[in-house]
């Protein structure tokens, strides 16, 4: 049973004249056996948070701790034994593989770094991992570009599982996949949670996915957690105006746009009533229509 | 009113290294009137982007293209190589791509990108073209357009870049806009704004919009009509509401089942996600391409390809067992 705890995390980037606050006092807990959804729009800080959770980045303030111990030492380095336990899967599977190395070779790499398995044992372990993620082990000799996006993303999960991690951080793992393969990857995560007790932090902007997948969901807005709730419950009754706006902006079928087209409220797409955090919020704060507590401003 | 788009029997093939041809689309017919939205849905490799690129004259020179394209009641030889660059691209068709960052020149001020199109297609001088560009940027919802026109693309967010790309597409005063996954790279709220903007252009200017998307929820929300593509062919077509609520083709039924629309979900996080078998890139000529994966396939499906035939009030499907798959 592992527990990753991010406490009062802030991350400020010093770029150009003005410092940019990506995260501001964020608390987040991820435990074995649960899938936690992390949602928010571009610029909300969700990828920064994901990178902090696996030690790819260090917070400006606050503590990232695994089972009560800091993830990184004073110089920002992670113990190999700690690194093994928290792994990451990135959005673009093709970009996350070495294009010149076979898929099997990439999956074997963490085994070389973290285990003392010999070459033959590594090979059979790679085959096991590929089978476990629904891949034919005969694909091990292929280069990444010879695999489909869905196959490659499953290979990325196989590689992340090679060190037998307790926790997996996935940054938009299905955003670049077709609907036909998206379900395979999502079902795999659900199966890993059930069968191995894997804990998953699932970063996404796709509410349709998170609503079905996550046991618990954290809503991030402008670097702050504005709402947190259980599974689908959060979306049945969102309380924060930003969460409500986020939910209202998603096309749900036949109604929203058709109704507005009929009533002539389409306008030029500028500031429709329910689109709270419009471009302005993420575009340097030029047009803010929600204040820091999420109240609407005119 | 004459349709703004009539595409007939479009077949596009690309040469293979072994000397053969890969047919990316086969005998695709589409038509669209002004002020209407047609959504083309399907997965990677279904041929939907090839259809769009063929209409916009953006296919590579080695592609083999047959069929006819009529725009705004005009000529029908626009698919022929060489006829496209002047006749189609820009003047009567505005094209919007998935990645707004890649469709803008990074070293050109965004106003100049829009002004260039206005200058070429409306014959405007330098000053008038810039003024037209600022007006268009205002039209697509860019705040402070006179100042923003002087910005370079990297200063803009993804949503703003897509607005600029739409302004550039409008600068050619098109009767038809082709949009290839225009909101896929954008967040839900920005997506909503861009869809609002496109629909405003359809409703107010009466342009026709062909929207390529893999998102059934987006198609259902904004389109008047939906065409579903599989393995290079349209396998189902009809009024948006009918296709979304009562899909007839087993592939369309499976696609609807695999979609994960937001809202109204009773299931918990442990519910398995319905899987949909990926398409086979090989395109059989004599059989239904979906037959190998179809739960309803019968012998006939493997020997005779079903034609796209009307089933119910403008709702057509290419299936011998149309309407039998349970949604």
- Residue in A closest to B267 by C-alpha: A212
Under a CB-based contact definition with an 8 Å cutoff, are residues A163 and A87 in contact?
yes
Check: complex ipTM more than 0.85: no
Read off the pLDDT of residues A128-178 as tens digits, 9 standing for 90 and up. Answer: 999 988 889 999 999 999 888 888 999 999 999 999 999 999 998 988 777
Q: Which residues of A159-184 are buried (b: 16+ CB within 10 A; e: fewer)?
A: bbbbbebbbbbbbbbbbbbbbbbbbb
Q: What is the mean pLDDT of residues B299-323?
A: 92
Give dist(CA A44, CA A223) in Å, integer.
5
A252 and B263 within 8 Å at the Cβ level: the answer is: yes
Chain A residues near residue B220 by CB distance under 8 angstroms: 251, 253-254
CA distance A236 to chain B (A): 8
CA-nearest of A251, A216, A246 to A231 is A216
Strands B37-41 and B208-213: parallel
Under a CB-based contact definition with an 8 Å cutoff, are residues B240 and B225 in contact?
yes
Tell me which of 3.40.50.300, 3.30.1440.10, 3.90.230.10, 3.40.710.10 is the CATH number of domain B5-104+176-317: 3.40.50.300
pTM of the complete model beyond 0.90: no
Under a CB-based contact definition with an 8 Å cutoff, are residues B74 and B113 in contact?
no
Q: Please give the pLDDT value at position A298.
A: 31
Give dist(CA B294, CA B250) in Å, integer.
7
End-to-end Cα separation, chain B, in angstroms: 36
How does DSSP classify residue A23? E
Q: Please give the pLDDT value at position A156.
A: 95
- Residue in B closest to A259 by C-alpha: B221
Per-residue pLDDT at B128 exceeds 90:
yes
Give dist(CA A17, CA A220) in Å, integer.
26
pLDDT band at B327 (very low <50, low <70, confident <90, very high): low
Q: Is A282 on the interface with B (CB under 8 A)?
A: yes
Chain A residues near residue B135 by CB distance under 8 angstroms: none
Under a CB-based contact definition with an 8 Å cutoff, are residues B269 and A214 in contact?
yes
Q: Is A179 on the interface with B (CB under 8 A)?
A: yes
Q: Please give the pLDDT value at position A260.
A: 56
Chain B residues near residue A212 by CB distance under 8 angstroms: 260, 265, 267, 269, 271, 273
A positions 39-98 inside 8 Å of B (CB) = 41-43
Higher pLDDT, B104 or A265: B104
A268 and B197 within 8 Å at the Cβ level: the answer is: yes
Give dist(CA A250, CA B192) in Å, integer.
7
| Domains in chain B: boundaries | 5-104+176-317
Read off the pLDDT of residues B61-100 as tens digits, 9 standing for 90 and up. Answer: 888 999 988 888 666 566 765 555 555 444 578 899 988 8
**B159: nearest CB among A214, A260, A279:** A279
Q: Is A254 on the interface with B (CB under 8 A)?
A: yes
Per-residue pLDDT of chain A (298 residues; tens, 9 = 90+): 899 999 999 999 987 778 889 999 999 999 999 999 999 888 889 999 999 999 999 999 999 999 999 988 877 788 888 889 999 999 889 999 999 999 999 999 999 999 999 999 999 999 999 998 888 999 999 999 988 888 899 999 999 999 999 999 999 898 877 787 788 889 989 999 999 999 999 999 888 899 989 999 999 999 999 999 998 788 888 999 999 988 888 876 666 565 555 444 443 444 333 333 333 332 323 333 333 333 333 3
A183 and B258 within 8 Å at the Cβ level: the answer is: yes
Q: Is A209 on the interface with B (CB under 8 A)?
A: yes
Chain B residues near residue A255 by CB distance under 8 angstroms: 221
SS3 assignment, position B212: strand
């Amino acid at each position: 049973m592992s527990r990753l705890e991010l406490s009062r995390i802030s991350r400020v980037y010093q770029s150009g004249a003005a410092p940019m606050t990506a995260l501001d006092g964020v608390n987040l807990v991820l435990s074995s056996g649960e899938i936690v959804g992390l949602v928010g729009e571009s610029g909300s800080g969700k990828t920064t948070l994901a990178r902090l959770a696996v030690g790819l980045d260090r917070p400006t303030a606050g503590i990232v701790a695994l089972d009560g111990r800091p993830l990184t030492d004073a110089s920002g380095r992670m113990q190999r034994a700690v690194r093994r336990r928290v792994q990451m899967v990135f959005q673009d599977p093709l970009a996350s593989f070495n294009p010149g190395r076979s898929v099997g070779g990439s999956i074997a790499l963490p085994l070389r770094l973290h285990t003392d398995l010999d070459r033959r044992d590594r090979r059979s372990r790679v085959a096991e991992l590929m089978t476990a993620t629904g891949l034919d082990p005969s694909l091990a000799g292929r280069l990444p570009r010879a695999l489909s996006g869905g196959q490659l993303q499953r290979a990325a999960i196989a590689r992340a599982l090679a060190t037998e991690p307790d926790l997996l951080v996935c940054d938009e793992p299905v955003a670049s996949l077709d609907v036909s393969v998206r379900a395979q990857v999502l079902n795999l995560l659900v199966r890993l949670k059930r069968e191995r007790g894997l804990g998953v932090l699932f970063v996404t902007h796709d509410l349709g996915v998170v609503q079905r997948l996550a046991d618990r969901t954290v809503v991030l807005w402008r670097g702050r957690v504005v709402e947190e709730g259980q599974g689908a419950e959060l979306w049945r009754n969102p309380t924060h105006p930003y969460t409500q706006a986020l939910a209202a902006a998603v096309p749900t079928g036949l109604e929203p746009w058709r109704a507005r087209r009929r009533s002539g409220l389409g306008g030029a797409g500028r500031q429709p009533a329910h689109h709270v955090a419009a471009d302005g919020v993420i575009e340097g704060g030029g047009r803010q229509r929600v204040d820091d507590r999420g109240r609407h401003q005119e | 009113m004459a349709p703004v788009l009539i595409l007939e029997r479009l077949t596009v093939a690309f040469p293979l290294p072994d000397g053969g041809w890969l047919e990316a689309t086969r005998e695709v017919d589409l038509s669209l009137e002004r002020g209407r939205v047609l959504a083309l849905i399907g997965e990677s490799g279904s041929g939907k982007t090839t259809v769009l690129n063929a209409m916009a004259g953006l296919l590579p020179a080695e592609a083999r293209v047959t069929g006819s394209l009529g725009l705004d009641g005009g000529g029908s030889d626009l698919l022929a190589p060489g006829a496209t660059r002047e006749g189609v691209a820009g003047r009567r068709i505005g094209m919007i791509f998935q990645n707004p960052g890649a469709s803008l020149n990074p070293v050109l001020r965004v106003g100049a990108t829009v002004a260039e199109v206005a200058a070429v297609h409306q014959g405007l001088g330098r000053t008038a073209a810039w003024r037209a560009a600022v007006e268009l940027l205002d039209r697509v919802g860019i705040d402070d357009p006179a100042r923003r026109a002087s910005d370079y693309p990297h200063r803009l967010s993804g949503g703003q870049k897509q607005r600029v790309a739409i302004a550039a597409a409008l600068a050619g005063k098109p009767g038809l806009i082709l949009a290839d996954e225009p909101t896929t790279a954008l967040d839900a709220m920005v997506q909503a704004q861009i869809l609002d903007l496109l629909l405003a252009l359809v409703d107010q200017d009466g342009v026709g919009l062909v929207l390529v998307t893999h998102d059934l929820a987006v198609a259902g929300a904004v389109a008047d009509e939906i065409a579903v593509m599989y393995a290079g062919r349209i396998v189902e077509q009809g009024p948006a509401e009918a296709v979304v609520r009562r899909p007839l083709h087993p592939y369309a039924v499976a696609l609807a089942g695999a979609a994960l629309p937001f809202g109204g979900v009773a299931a918990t996080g442990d519910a398995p996600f319905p899987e949909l078998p990926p398409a086979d890139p090989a395109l059989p000529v004599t059989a239904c391409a979906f037959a190998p994966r179809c739960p309803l396939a019968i012998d006939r499906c493997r020997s005779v390809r079903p034609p796209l035939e009307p089933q119910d009030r403008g709702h057509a499907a290419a299936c011998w067992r149309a309407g039998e798959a349970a949604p």
